[in-house]
Each structure stands twice: as structure tokens, then as C-alpha cells.
């Protein structure tokens, strides 16, 4: 049975972003337990900035391309949940790096991209409300995002192994 799939660019971006996001969630959750000489947080920040840049490209690409259709037999509530989840993922891929960038801008250490070049900082200070809000948002959303990723993966596996439809095959 032929499957309407996302094109190769969309699939590549999906999997690169998935790997970067999972890696960054692990770094974020485990950074205090990891050795200090590993420079975990500068790498975490660089990966976050990379996710944001790739996401902007992905959003621009998405505005010019139509997604392959979901199975006609899929219930409307499930299609709505899929669209809401994808919208939330795009929001997370932009809000998480942005809140991290705001927090980093208030710090005394330079913000750079993989030790190659400096990234400009926002004009904020540690005591600014936006910095505190960004810190809380960044931490809370990390847990929410991790949970949503688990639901996303389980839903994809359900479609592939239980419902045996084309949902997962659209992205592989």
C-alpha cells in the first residue's frame, strides 16, 4: 500500500530535531550530576540555539508545504489531538530555546555557539522579572515536553503496531 510521506527534507529535519531535543532534555535534567569539566551547559545552550534555528527553518518550510493527509478512518478527535500536539511541539521548539537564551543573557558568562562564536545577549539583568519568568517557564516546560514526547512516541507506535495504519510511515 503506497504511503503519502513527508518529503526527505521534512523527515531529515524531524529526526535531527528529535535527536537534538532528546539529547538536550537529558543534558538539562542531568547537568548537575555530570562532571563540571564536561562543559555540559555551554553545549546544552548551543544545542538549544541550534534547535531554535532549525525550527525557524522548519516552520518556514512548513508554511510552503502541505502535510500528507492523516488516514481518512482516523476519528476527528484523534486528528485534533495530533494537530494540537504538533502545534505544541513547534511552540516548545521556539519557547524553550528563547527562555534559555533570556536566562543566559542575564548571566556573567559569555553565550557562544559550540565555542565557535559569541551569540549576542538580550539586555536583561538577573533581577528582571522576565529572567525569573523565563527560568520557571524553561524548567516547567522541560517536564511537560518530556511527557508530551513520551505520549507522541507511544501514539506513533500504537498507529504502527496496533492500528497498522500509515501514520508512522509518513515520517520514516
At 139-170, the pLDDT tens digits run 999 999 999 999 999 999 999 999 999 999 99
DSSP three-state, residue 73: coil
The Cβ of residue 141 has, within 10 Å, a number of other Cβ atoms equal to 17
Pairwise CA distance, residues 121 & 75, whole Å = 46
Indicate which CATH number applies to the domain containing 21: 1.20.950
**Domain for residue 53, yes or no?**
yes
Domain assignment present for 138: yes
pLDDT tens profile 51-73: 999 999 999 999 999 999 999 99
Residue 94 reports pLDDT greater than 90 = yes
How many structural domains comprise the chain?
Answer: 1
Per the prediction, the chain carries an average pLDDT of 95
In a domain, 1, yes or no: no
- Domain-located, residue 160: yes
134 occurs within a structural domain: yes
Please give the pLDDT value at position 1: 53
Mean pLDDT throughout 11-34? 97
Instruction: Kindly state whether residue 141 falls inside one of the protein's structural domains.
Output: yes
Tell which residue, 91, 87, 3, 101, has the closest CA to residue 47.
101
pLDDT > 70: percent of the chain: 98
Tell whether 3 is covered by a domain. no
Range of the domain at 128: 8-170
Contact by Cβ (8 Å): 6, 67: yes
| Average pLDDT for 125-145 | 98
Distance CA 146, CA 170 (A): 23
Q: State what percent of residues in the chain have pLDDT above 90.
A: 95
Does residue 27 form part of some domain?
A: yes
Check residue 139 and give its pLDDT.
97
Amino acid at each position: 500500500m503506497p504511503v503519502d510521506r513527508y518529503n526527505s527534507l521534512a523527515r531529515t529535519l524531524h529526526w535531527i530535531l528529535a535527536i537534538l531535543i532528546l539529547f538536550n532534555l537529558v543534558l538539562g535534567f542531568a547537568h548537575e550530576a555530570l562532571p563540571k569539566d564536561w562543559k555540559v551547559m555551554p553545549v546544552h545552550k548551543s544545542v538549544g540555539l541550534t534547535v531554535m534555528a532549525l525550527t525557524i527553518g522548519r516552520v518556514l518550510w512548513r508554511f510552503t508545504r502541505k502535510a500528507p493527509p492523516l488516514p481518512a478512518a482516523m476519528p476527528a478527535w484523534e486528528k485534533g489531538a495530533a494537530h494540537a500536539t504538533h502545534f505544541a511541539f513547534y511552540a516548545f521548539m521556539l519557547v524553550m530555546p528563547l527562555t534559555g537564551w533570556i536566562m543566559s543573557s542575564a548571566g556573567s558568562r559569555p553565550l557562544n555557539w559550540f565555542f565557535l562564536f559569541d551569540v549576542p545577549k538580550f539586555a536583561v539583568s538577573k533581577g528582571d522579572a522576565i529572567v525569573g519568568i523565563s527560568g520557571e517557564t524553561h524548567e516547567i516546560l522541560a517536564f511537560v515536553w518530556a511527557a508530551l514526547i513520551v505520549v507522541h512516541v507511544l501514539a506513533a507506535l500504537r498507529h504502527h503496531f496496533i492500528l497498522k495504519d500509515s501514520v508512522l510511515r509518513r515520517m520514516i
